[in-house]
Structure 1
Amino acid sequence: MTADAQRPPQLTPTPHRRSSTLGVLGTYLGPLKWQVMGLAALLLTGVGLNLLLPQLLRRFVDNAKLGAGADPGLLARLAGFYIALAVGVQLMNAGATFVGARVGWTATNRLRADLMAHLLSLDMREHKERTPGEMIERIDGDVTALSNFFSQFAVRVFGAALLLTGALVMFYRVDWRVGLGVTAFTGITLGAMNRVRKLGVEPTRLERESSAKLFSFVEERLSGLDDIRALGAGGHHLNAFLRTQREFFGRSVLSWRRRSVVWQLSMILFAVGYVGVLVAAVGLYAAGSITLGTAFLMYQYMSLVEEPIDQLTQQLQELQKAGASLGRVGEILSLRSAIVDGTRSLPAGPLELEFEDVDFTYTQDEPGIRGVLRGVSFTLPAGQTLGLLGRTGSGKTTLTRLVSRLYDATSGQVRLGGVDVRDVPLKALRGRVAVVTQDVQLFQASVRDNLSFFDASVSDERVEAALREVGLGRWLSRLEHGVRTPLPTGSLSAGEAQLLAFARVILLDPAVIILDEPSSRLDPATEGLLTAAMTRLLAGRTAIIIAHRLDTVARADRILVLGGGEVLEDGVRAELAHLPRGHYAGLLQAGVLDDGEGVLA
């Protein structure tokens, strides 16, 4: 890895209120309060009907026990009422499930969007140290686990708690001793399950981590598929994939076993609970304290105690998954970028660029580390073009990243139009500074979306005009649906991709343009077309061109040569070209830009 690509400053994790379960629920369920209230109404109604059903059964059993003295009309009415209430319970449950799923997915979709925006706002360090596959797992895999929890949490946990409370109250109405015994049983059961629940949290976290590692592995290998095939390394990478898959499988099995302890314990405890209730019911009936219908009622209410505890048990397992995912999401949300927005505005028109005694290092917390840039000072007048030369690792790319504030200088100042870039809001700064790299990123989307970055406010006419301005008018005319034509990845040549990147810059209309050797991989014919487009692009704008070929900086007004992070030479191009023993003059005499230890040493 070159010095230009070393990692940026470390981010400082800070506490974040959304890193706790209650914080997430409050933040993302709060705006949906009316839907949550509707959900609560459905749950309360469903619970009330559920508690009423055993009462109807008791009356039915007690009347049916009378034999010939039973009232057939009353029995028919009780049966019909029971069926109607049972249907009502199912309708309430279905409605609560639908509203709960809607609330849960709406809330977690907001979380997913916030997480994506937060990742995009972070310093470059996380994006250097974490692979795209891992980031995808954080945004999609972890948040999906949370969405499953959110969509069922209110329905199952809140509804189960209501039903459990109601069933316990009914036991007290039958006999306070039975009610007290069932309450003690419920407390012991919930306490025991809560203790064993913690056994699954850490294995679940490790399972999610291995899942992220698996996603990361697949993403990296797919990205390097051409190299893997060309070097015949398919077998090696397949073996590595199997090792990664084996680790994920092992952790998944361990996690499932630990989580299953909860429901296994529940089954054992409820076997004991049912026996206890049946013994109590038989004893009270034999003593003449209750009727047969009431004894049957006690058994029914015990099933109403079992049902919510079963629901709570299942949700405890979901809570384990959600807790592990929430912790991983919280780690990302707790990261804070060292780059802070400013409040000042940049002046209109082309901007003067000034570096004043700028130092920069990627490892500020490690003393003794040699800086990438040291004491860099130069001034680029507004509307002029600077040719930036230097060996690999000299700090060229790092210097340009300071202009757009991908990083901030360790010391010194970078000014645009007389304003320190740290005092300018990031969005405003990056709206005035455009960067075109050698590796142009294209998306599987339409031409207009690739140029406008999915900004619907940009008209098709503006996109078409930008394409014609960079010389892609004939190419545009061949597209079946014009700028609305899908642009499959890999369908363009390197030259066409660079021209599309120029068109992006024209749509942005910046004051400062940074070009990272746009013509380094092009044939002469395509380079001529690109040169013409570049001339139109740079007209009237301040520009920096990172050059690896001397003809690229032939149009530059000024030349700056970097070496070892320091300015070796800076001045007007025409003057430096005739400077005896000068670095730039030596390059011209050699006819090449030495990338080793030669001319620029």
Structure 2
Amino acid sequence: MSASTPDHPPSAASARAALPVLGTYLKPLWPRALLMAALLLGSVGLNLLAPQVLRAFLDAATNHDVNVGVLVRLAGVFLGVSIAVQLLSAGATYAGADVGWAATNRLRADLARHLLGLDMSYHKDRTPGEMIERIDGDVTALSNFFSQFAVRVFGALLLLLGALVMFWREDWRLGLGISVFAVGTLFALNVARKPGVEPTRREREASARLFGFIEERLTGLDDVRALGAGHHTLNAFLRVQRDFYTRARAAWLARSTVWQLSFFLFTLAYAIVIASAVGLYAAGAITLGTAFLLYQYMTMIDEPINQLAQQLQDLQKAGASLIRVSEILALRSDLPGGERPVPVGALEVRFEHVQFAYGDASVLQDVHLTIPAGHTVGLLGRTGSGKTTLTRLLSRLYDPTSGAVILGGVDTRDADLHALRERVAVVTQDVQLFQASVRDNLTLFDPSLPDARITEALTEVGLDSWLAGLPEGLHSSLPAGSLSAGEAQLLAFARVLLRDPGLVILDEPSSRLDPATEAKLTAAMRRLTEGRTAIIIAHRLDTVARVDDILVLGEGRVLEFAPRARLAANPRSQYAALLRAGAHHAEEVLA
């Protein structure tokens, strides 16, 4: 589908496509960037002035008629200039970090939002660890780069140009020679930089796979231990780690070419400048202060180019990350949202000759039925009969291969996607709880909901006494694993009540509960489904003992769909056969 990211070298086109990402996030921060530029200009100007003051000091100190007062004043000026340079440099560094982190934090938020909006088929092919590396790892590489790159590179270029101007002022021949050297060095370093981009991209891919592997194995730690698979897991980890190490080492070697070349070229350049300065001083053509000045300005050529060399290595990392980020942002969902609102209140549900397949595997075949608004439906069927797929079409995690799914008279493909998912609530067997407060777990971190409404929802599902026992009420921490399965399900019901949807889908809500807890849950289910359309997926018949209609699926087809009382009274119906056989043998009867 369109949301795929093939593992191939980035083309020049993909690299160019990454550049607009920079403009999008840096352009709104231009006032801060302007402040940073002003601070840098001041710092560089004073940096270039300092050697001039030092030359005057040395020439005055070596003069036979030494004036101590002049030396003191020059020393004071030099000290003041040096302090000012440090202060301006610190200010520019702070401004640059502010710009870099502000831009990349916006990018991180947009990237997370974009990934959450991609289709389920994209997420099914990737582990959460890979997603973490994409959202945090790649963007952190950009954050580190942008928070320093502008200051160091822009400042280094200004300092380099200023030092070259000073060389031209002292002697045009020196200026010409150093200018040719600087341009040649920058060109050579840029050429040496390019081979490092692709190995760095492969390193980031290997890092994502490593994070994905670790996350997946930690999630399944109980099974790994119970089945004695620790040794095999460790061997697999070492293979993934070896691949990451190999790619990281290759990337480092490719990037190190830049500073190795820089070190060699500047060793040669220093030798030439020092020899020239010593020769000119010995010939009486320049003073000792000027000789020292030439050395100082050479360091101002060396320092910015070394900075550029280091930043070019970071540029290789950032370039690879930026390409990966831009590839993600370029992905588009195959389920574009419409604009039609979904009606309020209980929703009528219609499946009009719906077919659905995962690739070549057919899952639903000609499903055609209508669930009246406000009805509760018990959905029965063997594992693999298409029950879960049917409900996923309702929340539009997928679109039907053919046919249409209609909610409240609106085709799901024409509905506003956000509004649709607000109106359809799904409660699964495994309730996701966060290590956060009770309030945040219920509101999903929405601060706008009042505490009174949240407390009311907990009371409606029978958790008022549980809430009263918490030390800080709604603001009590809810550590992962601190709730029973029944309490977790009731919390999920309270979440749904806070949203007030028109359609509720319950996926086997009582499958793991003891009879006492199940009775409490059943009461909460009645409150939850009151005034709403509800679909309850069940294997235990007690769960659907009070629903209005029964829908039985088999191999993706509707085997029967009718009022529960009518099917129960019909001895030939599959539902009646289930009642006779008992819930424990439901799978065999449905076969």
TM (norm. structure 1) is 0.93
Paired amino acid for 1:328: R
Distance across 1 between alignment mates of 2:273 and 2:249: 36
Q: Which residue is 1:201 aligned to?
A: 197
Query: Partner residue of 2:34?
Result: 37
Q: Once the two structures are superposed, what CA deviation does each residue of 1:437-495 show, in whole Å capped at 9, x if it has no partner?
A: 11111111111111111111111111111111111121111111111111111111111
Does residue 232 (structure 1) correspond to residue 228 (structure 2)? The answer is yes
Where 1:250 maps in the other structure, the secondary structure is: helix
366, 388, 400: which one aligns with 1:397: 388
Alignment map for 1:333-372 (pairs within 5 Å): 333-363=329-359, 369-372=360-363
Match of 1:11 in 2: 3
Q: 2:293 aligns with which of 292, 297, 302?
A: 297
- Alignment of 1:556 with 2:556, yes or no, is no
Question: What is the CA distance between 1:155 and its match in structure 2?
Answer: 0.8
SS in 1 for 2:369: strand
**For residue 50 of structure 1, what is the aligned residue in structure 2?**
47
Higher normalized contact order (CA 8 Å, seq sep 6+, divided by chain length): 1
The Cα offsets for residues 92-132 of structure 1, whole Å up to 9 and x where unpaired, read as 11111112112211211111111111111111122211111
Equivalent residues of 1:189, 1:269 under 8 A apart: yes
CA distance in 2, matches of 1:319, 1:178: 31
2:567 is aligned with 1:599: no
Provide the C-alpha distance between the structure 1 equivalents of 2:233 and 2:370, rounded to a whole number of angstroms.
50
Q: 1:283 deviation in Å? A: 4.7
1:20 is displaced (CA, Å) by 4.9
Aligned-residue offset at 1:174: 1.5
Is this contact kept in 2: 1:60–1:78, CA < 8 A?
yes
1:160-309 alignment runs, 5 A limit: 160-285=156-281, 289-309=285-305
2:535 counterpart of 1:544: yes
Contact 1:10–1:125 (CA under 8 A) maintained in structure 2: no
Q: 1:74 offset after TM fit, Å?
A: 2.3
Mapped to 2, the partners of 1:18 and 1:248 lie a distance apart of 23
Looking at structure 1, the residues matched to 2 and 552 of structure 2 have their Cα atoms a distance apart, in angstroms, of 29
TM-score normalised by structure 2 residue count? 0.95
Alpha carbons of structure 1 residues 13 and 338: separation in structure 2 relative to 1, 3 Å: farther
1:513-553 alpha-carbon deviations (Å, 9 max, x no partner): 00111011111111111111111111111111111122222
Contact 1:178 1:280 in 2 (8 A): no
What SS does structure 2 have at the residue aligned with 1:377? strand
Match of 2:444 among 453, 456, 459: 453
Contact 1:562 1:569 in 2 (8 A): yes
Q: Distance in 2 between matches of 1:212 and 1:430?
A: 30
Q: Deviations over 1:46-78 (max 9, x none)?
A: 0000111111122223333322x3433322222
Partner-residue secondary structure (3-state), 1:115:
helix
CA deviations 1:387-428 (Å, max 9, x no partner) are: 111111111111111111111222211111111122221221
CA spacing shift, 1:397–1:321, aligned 2, 3 Å: same
Determine the C-alpha separation between the residues in 2 that align with 1:421 and 1:17: 34
- Counterparts of 2:389 and 2:586 in 1: how far apart (Å)? 17
- 1:295 Cα offset (Å): 2.7
Q: Which amino acid aligns with 1:72?
A: V
Matched residue count: 586
Q: Could you give the per-residue CA deviations for residues 280-330 of structure 1, whole angstroms, max 9, x where no partner exists?
A: 334544565544432322221111000000100110111111112222222
- 1:119 matched to 2:109: no
1:488 aligns with 2:479: yes
User: What stretches of structure 2 of length at least 5 have no aligned partner?
Assistant: none
The partner residue of 1:146 within 133, 142, 148 is: 142
Distance 1:57 1:349 in 2: 81
Give the distance between the partners of 1:36 and 1:126, measured in 2 at CA.
37
Q: Which moved more, 1:582-591 or 1:517-526?
A: 582-591
Contact 2:2/2:331 (<8 A) preserved:
no
Cα distance change on mapping 1:269 and 1:260 into 2, 3 Å: same
Counterpart in the other structure of 1:100 = 96
Kept after mapping to 1: 8 A contact 2:36/2:96: yes
Identity %: 66
In angstroms, what is the RMSD of aligned CA positions? 2.1
1:189 Cα offset (Å): 1.0
Task: Please tell me whether the aligned partners of residues 18 and 24 of structure 1 are also in contact (alpha carbons under 8 angstroms).
Answer: no
Q: Which moved more, 1:580-589 or 1:547-556?
A: 580-589
Find 1:473's aligned residue among 457, 460, 464.
464
Q: Provide the rounded CA distance (Å) in 2 between the counterparts of 1:22 and 1:557.
A: 58
CA distance 1:585–1:391, change in 2 (3 Å): same
Structure 1 residues 332, 19: CA separation in 2 closer, same or farther (over 3 Å shift)? farther
* Native 8 Å contact 2:18 2:326 kept in 1: no
Partner residue in 2 for 1:4: none
Q: In terms of mean alpha carbon deviation, does 220-229 or 488-497 score higher?
A: 220-229
SS of 1:383 mapped into structure 2: coil
> In structure 1, what is the Cα distance between the partners aligned to 2:257 and 2:357?
51
Give the aligned residue type for 1:352.
Answer: E
**Contact residue 391 and residue 594 of structure 1 kept, 8 A:** no
Aligned partners of 1:156 and 1:537: how far apart in 2? Answer: 59
Would the aligned equivalents of 2:424 and 2:503 in 1 still touch at CA under 8 Å? Answer: yes
Is 1:320 aligned with 2:316?
A: yes
Deviation at 1:207, TM superposition (A): 2.2
Partner in structure 2 of residue 436 of structure 1: 427
> 2:438 and 2:58 mapped to 1: Cα distance?
74
The whole-number CA distance in structure 2 between the counterparts of 1:372 and 1:322 is 44
Structure 1: which 5+ runs fail to align? 1-8, 364-368
Which of 19, 44, 52 is 1:22 aligned to?
19
**What amino acid does structure 1 have at the position aligned with 2:57?**
F
Is the deviation greater in 200-209 or in 536-545?
200-209
**1:513 equivalenced with 2:504 (yes/no):** yes
Q: Which moved more, 1:179-188 or 1:281-290?
A: 281-290
- Contact (CA 8 Å) 1:12, 1:336: kept in 2 or not? no
Q: Which amino acid aligns with 2:29?
A: L
